[in-house]
């Protein structure tokens, strides 16, 4: 059966639709499978906007939906309203905060649930990460367990593998942690919550962040994000009351083709790394030969569609990795060189800093004994700033001379102090970024196998391969990084890192207006 | 039997461009990834200079390409294009372009012949919409360029046998075809066609052209 036939008339429940991956998947699904029956979005209300207002804004202005707006023109609002409905939900509440009538309406009609919502900050407040990544997943599973069709696709991450090297297979060893020690997810979760609620930590977020990191590292994970995602996987896998497929994307990056080449949203892993090595920072702590596992977001979307369709056909369960290192690896050394070449290409017109143009970034293994480190450079900048501020060499001069040159010296001191302060802040930022990303850029030699999604791709009918195949094997990394990824990051990500904003599309006219879920549900029934 | 077509073979070096092929290798060497590597590679390229000055361009080019051993395919591809844009496309010789236009008016198949490498000279072929480009390709392995050229190579001396084989494969009548060269190394190419032309020739080719009564086009 083809993907379109499988998905025709189906009702899908989706969480996290305002996030990067789910938004692209939603747009791809509406674009390539217009015969989909219904997509119900569970979205949280915010203080400033209701769930419906939030998604209506995305549908009207977000570039992810541009191809759909262009295809349907003035009919876009009607097209989407016929297929998409929204429910205000709170994944941290039991049954996701849905009313009884809402649950009852979903229970008999939902064919498949896709749980994309989560907190992707690497070092968040662990209580927030637990709420979003663990409790949210548990509540969704509870909800799905009450449905007639108990199929759940849970989006996780390849990096739940933790701090171990080698070939990572599509499996989950639920009883051991990455260090190979016996591990009980429920107990680990309880320990973390208890530690965060101790008097010294309860009211101090900084202390909780450190606790989260310590617990993650003790269990063999790189950070709180991957730790909590792993806890969720382990807790879900124990459940016998749902049909579960766990999907683990690796580093999700700019779109290869859909919605258009280069589109990206927010700050993902490669953005800061690329920004760093496009700045005056020339030596990224990394190892030339280690693979950098990057997958364009639209290929992640294709993988999700393949797995969803296979699940609807009763052919999918277990763990799926959506990764590149097993099928078409790109090493860190190559990525860094491509980034340098991309900077050169982007500045062929003479724009940008000429020194940076001709000094290529390189991979540089971490040398613990190195004298010149970012931390030391920052300390030196701070020390120099103090000296500049406090030094008064003019005091040794006569009063007349002092009066004459003091204004000039004060101005120079002020300017130098400001510049050194800026340099120190920048170095602090770089230091923090390096610490955050070092597990992914330097410490581990991971090869993530993605054979299962490749098998699903191979079963596609030739007419569907161009829209649905997870064809990472044919990706030309040179073209992708230089002509798609780097320009995409420069437009959609670097401004955010620098504290700026990125453009939205002109609001679609007429604005998309979604009807209430009860009206939609009655129509479905 | 189908009627044979005619072609115009244009040697890129000398006819269309004044820059020697060795300059490409030197520029690529000077733009290696690491600064220390740049000096080492440039030094290796400098070893080719005596051969270039001693009129053994083939040996000079081989040494130039050898200096790029270990450079990645990505770097050669991207910087080759940059080199072409920065130094070649703006400096195509007017007389060479006029000869290309003449060939187009005669409806000849336009074939560029170059001993430079594909990533560099392809941009030139695209710019003048050549029908075909005969050029060299660097050989690569997992560690980058091997410093050697892939077969078949296009040397500064294009053999008559190679040309005849090309003509037979593509249905070209060499007697009705034209060729444009600028150095003595192009003598074999020019003598294989019915319409040879020496375009801004060096001293040796000028002498050959006069001996054989080939037309000579001077640079403007």
| Residue of chain A with shortest Cα separation from B35 | A359
Do the beta carbons of residue A105 and residue A143 sit within 8 Å? no
CA A319 to chain centre: 19
Two tokens, residue B139: 């050989």
Contact B206, B216 (CB under 8 A): yes
CA B152 to chain centre: 14
Inter-chain residue contact A345 with B31, CB threshold 8 Å: no
Rounded Cα distance, A142 and A145, in Å: 5
Q: Which residues of B touch A (CB under 8 A)?
A: 31, 33-35, 72-75, 77-79, 82, 85-86
pLDDT, tens digit, for every residue of A211-238?
999 999 999 999 999 999 999 999 999 9
Least confident of A33-42, A140-149, A333-342, A430-439: A430-439
* Alpha-carbon dihedral angle through residues A208, A211, A216, A217, given to the nearest 10 degrees: 140
3-state secondary structure of A140: helix
Query: Largest Cα–Cα distance of chain A, in whole Å?
Result: 94
Region of poorest pLDDT, from A108-122, A191-205, B187-201: A191-205
Mean per-residue pLDDT for B132-146?
95
Which DSSP helix (H) or strand (E) runs through A194? helix A185-196
Answer whether A358 sits within 8 Å of B33, measured CB to CB: no
Residues of B in contact with A483 (CB under 8 A): none
- Residue to substitute from B75, B87, B140, interface A, most A β-carbons within 10 A: B75
What mean pLDDT comes out for the span B191-210?
A: 92
Mean pLDDT of chain B: 91
| Ramachandran angles phi, psi of A247, nearest 5° | -115, 125
pLDDT at B16: 95
pLDDT at position A122? 86
**Coil, strand or helix at B117:** strand
Are A482 and B79 within 8 A, CB to CB? Answer: no
Quote the pLDDT of residue A524.
Answer: 40
Question: How does the average pLDDT of chain A come out, rounded?
Answer: 90
What average pLDDT score do residues A352-363 get? Answer: 80
Closest residue of chain A to B33, computed from CA coordinates: A360
Contact flag B34-A360 (C-beta cutoff 8 Å): yes
pTM value?
A: 0.89
For residues A221 and A156, is the Cβ–Cβ distance under 8 A? Answer: no
Measured in angstroms, the CA of B74 and the nearest CA of chain A are apart by 7
Average pLDDT over residues A511-524: 53
Which residues are CB-contacts of A280 (< 8 A; sequence separation ≥ 6)? A353, A355, A356
Determine the pLDDT at residue B151: 87
- CA-nearest residue of chain A to B30? A358
**Nearest CA-CA partner of A260 in A62, A473, A443, A120:** A62
Whether residue B212 is predicted with pLDDT greater than 90 in this model: the reply is yes
pLDDT for res A519: 40
- At B147-161, the pLDDT tens digits run 999 988 887 666 677
| B29 neighbourhood in chain A, CB within 8 Å | none
Provide the pLDDT for residue A518: 41
Q: Are the C-beta atoms of residues A298 and A255 closer than 8 Å to each other?
A: yes
Residue A522, pLDDT > 50, answer no
Q: By the 8 A CB rule, do A38 and A11 touch?
A: yes
Q: Give the single-character DSSP code of A225.
A: H
What is the predicted ipTM?
A: 0.90
Q: Which two tokens stand for residue A342?
A: 């991309």
**pLDDT for position B220:** 66
Q: Long-range contacts for B128-137 (Cβ within 8 Å, ≥24 apart)?
A: B128/B16, B128/B92, B128/B97, B128/B100, B130/B10, B134/B166, B135/B12
Contact between A345 and B82 using a beta-carbon 8 Å cutoff: yes
Angle at A32 between CA A29 and CA A36, to 5 degrees: 55
Q: What is the pLDDT of residue A515?
A: 62
Contacts B82 to A, Cβ<8 Å: 344-345, 348
- The pLDDT of residue B2 is 64
Does residue A281 have a pLDDT over 80? no
Contacts of B75 in chain A (CB under 8 A): 337, 341
- pLDDT at residue A387, as a whole number: 87
Residues B176-191 have a mean pLDDT of 91
- Whether the pLDDT of residue A513 is over 80: the answer is no
CA-to-CA distance for B59 and B189, rounded, in angstroms?
20
Tens-digit pLDDT profile for residues A295-350: 999 999 999 999 999 999 998 889 999 999 999 999 999 999 999 999 999 988 87
Specify the range with the lowest mean pLDDT, choosing from A290-299, A412-421, B89-98: A412-421
Residue A482: list chain B partners with CB under 8 A.
78
Per-residue burial over B83-96, b = 16 or more CB atoms within 10 Å of its CB, e = otherwise = bbeeebeeebbebb
Alpha-carbon gap, residue B150 to A258, rounded angstroms: 37
Residue A284: pLDDT above 60?
Answer: yes
The beta-carbon neighbor of A360 closest among B33, B73, B82 is B33
Q: Tens digit of pLDDT for each residue in A125-146?
A: 999 999 999 999 999 999 999 9
CA closest to A357 among chain B residues: B31
List the one residue out of A153, A483, A159 whose CA is nearest residue A296: A483
Those of residues 445-484 in A touching chain B at CB distance below 8 A are 478, 482
Rounded distance between C-alpha atoms, residue A356 and residue A351, angstroms = 11
CA separation (Å) from B103 to A517, B7, B124, B182? 71, 8, 17, 17
**A517: pLDDT strictly greater than 70:** no
What value does the mean pLDDT take over residues A389-405?
81
Give tens-digit pLDDT for A244-267: 999 999 999 999 999 999 999 988
Q: B84, B86, B78, B145: which is closest to B112 by C-alpha?
A: B84
Beta-carbon-side half-sphere exposure of residue A141 (alpha carbons within 13 Å): 23
pLDDT of residue B190: 92
pLDDT at A521: 41
Task: Provide the pLDDT confidence category of residue B64 given band limits of 50, 70 and 90.
Answer: very high
As a three-state string, the secondary structure of A398-445 is: CHHHHHHHHHHHHHHHHHHHHHHHHHHHHHHHHHHHHHHHHHHHHHCC
Token code pair at residue B151: 């077969």
The confidence score (pLDDT) of residue A339 equals 93
Q: What residue has token string 């996780």?
A: A156
Model confidence at A273, pLDDT cuts 50, 70, 90, reads confident
Contact B78 A340 (CB under 8 A): no
A517 contacts A525 by C-beta, under 8 angstroms? no
From CA A13, how far away is CA A38, in angstroms rounded?
A: 8
Average pLDDT rounded to a whole number, residues B104-132: 95
Q: What is the DSSP letter of A243?
A: E
| β-pair type (A446-448, A166-168) | parallel
pLDDT of residue B134: 93
Identify the pLDDT of residue A204.
86
Structural domains of chain B, ranges and CATH numbers in brackets: 7-217 (3.40.50.1000)
Which single residue is written with the structure tokens 């949210």? A136
Q: Are A59 and A105 in contact (CB under 8 A)?
A: no
CB distance B75–A344 less than 8 Å?
no
Distance CA B44, CA B50 (A): 12
Q: What secondary structure letter does DSSP report for A313?
A: T
Note whether A345 contacts B: Cβ–Cβ < 8 A: yes
A13 beta partners: A40, A113
Of A337, A348, A359, the CB nearest to B74: A337
| Highest mean pLDDT, choosing among A183-192, A387-396, A500-509 | A183-192
Chain A hits for B86, CB-CB cut-off 8 Å, are: 348
3-state secondary structure A30-75: HHHCCCECEEEEEECCCCCCCHHHHHHHHHHHCHHHHHHHHHHHHH
- For residue A205, the tally of other CB atoms under 10 A from its CB is 15
Taking alpha carbons only, the member of A488, A2, A10, A40 closest to residue A259 is A488
Q: Degrees (nearest 5) of the Cα angle B101, B105, B111? A: 60
Q: Strands of A198-242 (E only): list them.
A: none
pLDDT at B155: 77
Q: Which residues of A touch B34 (CB under 8 A)?
A: 360, 362
Residue A510 pLDDT grade (very low, low, confident, very high; cuts 50, 70, 90): low
- Three-class SS of residue B194? coil
Whether the pLDDT of residue B74 is over 50: the answer is yes
Q: Any idea which of A340-354, A481-495, A507-521, B179-193 has the lowest mean pLDDT?
A: A507-521
Q: How confident is the model at residue A474 (pLDDT cuts 50, 70, 90)?
A: very high
Distance in Å, alpha carbon of A362 to nearest chain B alpha carbon: 8
Residue A42 has pLDDT above 80, yes or no: yes
Average pLDDT rounded to a whole number, residues A162-189: 92
What confidence category does residue A511 fall into, taking pLDDT thresholds of 50, 70 and 90? low
Residues of B in contact with A362 (CB under 8 A): 33-34
């Amino acid at each position: 059966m083809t993907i379109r036939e499988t998905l025709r008339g189906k009702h899908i429940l989706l969480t996290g639709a305002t996030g990067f991956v789910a938004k692209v998947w939603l747009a791809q699904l509406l674009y390539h499978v217009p015969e989909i029956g219904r997509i119900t979005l569970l979205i949280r209300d915010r203080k400033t906007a209701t769930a419906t207002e939030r998604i209506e804004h995305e549908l009207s202005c977000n570039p992810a939906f541009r191809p759909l707006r262009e295809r349907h023109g003035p009919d876009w609002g009607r097209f989407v309203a016929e297929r998409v409905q929204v429910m205000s939900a709170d994944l941290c509440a039991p049954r996701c905060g849905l009313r009884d009538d809402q649950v009852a309406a979903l229970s008999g009609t939902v064919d498949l649930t896709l749980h994309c919502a989560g907190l992707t900050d690497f070092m968040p407040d662990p209580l927030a990460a637990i709420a979003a990544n663990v409790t949210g997943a548990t509540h969704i599973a509870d909800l799905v367990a009450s449905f007639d069709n108990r199929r759940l696709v849970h989006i996780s991450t390849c990096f739940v593998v933790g701090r171990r090297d080698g070939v990572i297979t599509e499996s989950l060893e639920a009883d051991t942690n990455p260090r190979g020690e016996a591990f009980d997810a429920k107990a680990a979760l309880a320990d973390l919550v208890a530690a965060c609620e101790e008097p010294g930590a309860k009211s101090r977020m900084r202390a909780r962040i450190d606790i989260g990191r310590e617990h993650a590292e003790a269990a063999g994970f790189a950070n709180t994000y991957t730790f909590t995602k792993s806890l969720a996987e382990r807790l879900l896998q124990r459940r016998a009351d749902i049909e579960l497929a766990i999907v683990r994307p690796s580093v999700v990056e700019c779109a290869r083709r859909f919605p258009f080449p280069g589109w990206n949203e927010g700050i993902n892993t490669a953005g800061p790394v690329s920004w760093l090595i496009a700045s005056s920072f020339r030596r990224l702590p990394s190892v030339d030969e280690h693979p950098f596992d990057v997958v364009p977001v639209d290929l992640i979307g294709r993988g999700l569609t393949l797995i969803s369709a296979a699940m609807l056909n009763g052919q999918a369960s277990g763990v799926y990795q959506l990764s590149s290192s097993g099928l078409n690896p790109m090493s860190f050394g190559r990525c860094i060189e491509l980034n340098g070449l991309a900077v050169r290409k982007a500045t062929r017109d003479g724009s940008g800093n000429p020194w940076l143009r001709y000094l290529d970034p390189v991979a540089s293994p971490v040398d613990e004994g190195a004298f010149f480190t970012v931390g030391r450079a920052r300390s030196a900048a701070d020390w120099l700033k103090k000296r500049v501020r406090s030094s008064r060499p003019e005091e040794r001069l006569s009063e007349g001379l002092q009066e004459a040159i003091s204004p000039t010296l004060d101005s120079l001191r002020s300017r130098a102090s400001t510049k050194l302060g800026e340099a120190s802040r920048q170095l602090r930022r770089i230091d923090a970024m390096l610490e955050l990303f070092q597990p992914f850029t330097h410490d581990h030699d991971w090869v993530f196998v993605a054979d299962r999604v490749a098998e699903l791709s191979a079963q596609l009918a030739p007419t569907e391969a161009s829209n649905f195949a997870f064809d990472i094997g044919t990706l030309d990394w040179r073209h992708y990084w230089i002509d798609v990824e780097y320009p995409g990051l420069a437009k959609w990500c670097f401004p955010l890192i620098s504290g700026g904003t990125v453009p939205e599309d002109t609001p679609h006219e007429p604005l998309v207006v979604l009807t209430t879920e009860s009206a939609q549900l009655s129509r479905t029934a | 039997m189908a009627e044979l077509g005619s072609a115009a073979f244009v040697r890129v070096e000398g006819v269309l461009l004044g820059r020697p092929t060795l300059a490409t290798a030197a520029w690529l060497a000077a733009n290696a990834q690491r600064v220390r590597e740049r000096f080492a590679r440039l030094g290796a390229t400098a070893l080719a200079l005596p051969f270039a000055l001693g009129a053994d361009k083939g040996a000079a080019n081989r040494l130039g390409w050898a200096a790029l051993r270990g450079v990645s395919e990505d770097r050669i591809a991207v910087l080759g294009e940059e080199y072409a844009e920065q130094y070649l496309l703006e400096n195509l010789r007017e007389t060479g372009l006029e000869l290309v236009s003449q060939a187009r008016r005669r409806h000849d198949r336009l074939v560029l012949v170059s001993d430079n490498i594909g990533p560099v000279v392809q941009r030139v072929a695209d710019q003048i919409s050549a029908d075909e480009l005969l050029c060299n390709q660097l050989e690569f392995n997992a560690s980058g360029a091997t410093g050697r050229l892939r077969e078949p190579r296009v040397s500064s001396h294009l053999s008559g046998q190679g040309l005849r084989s090309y003509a037979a494969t593509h249905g070209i009548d060499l007697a009705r075809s034209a060729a444009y060269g600028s150095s003595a190394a192009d003598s074999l190419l020019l003598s294989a066609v019915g319409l040879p032309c020496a375009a801004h020739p060096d001293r040796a080719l000028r002498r050959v052209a006069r001996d054989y009564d080939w037309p000579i086009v001077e640079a403007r």
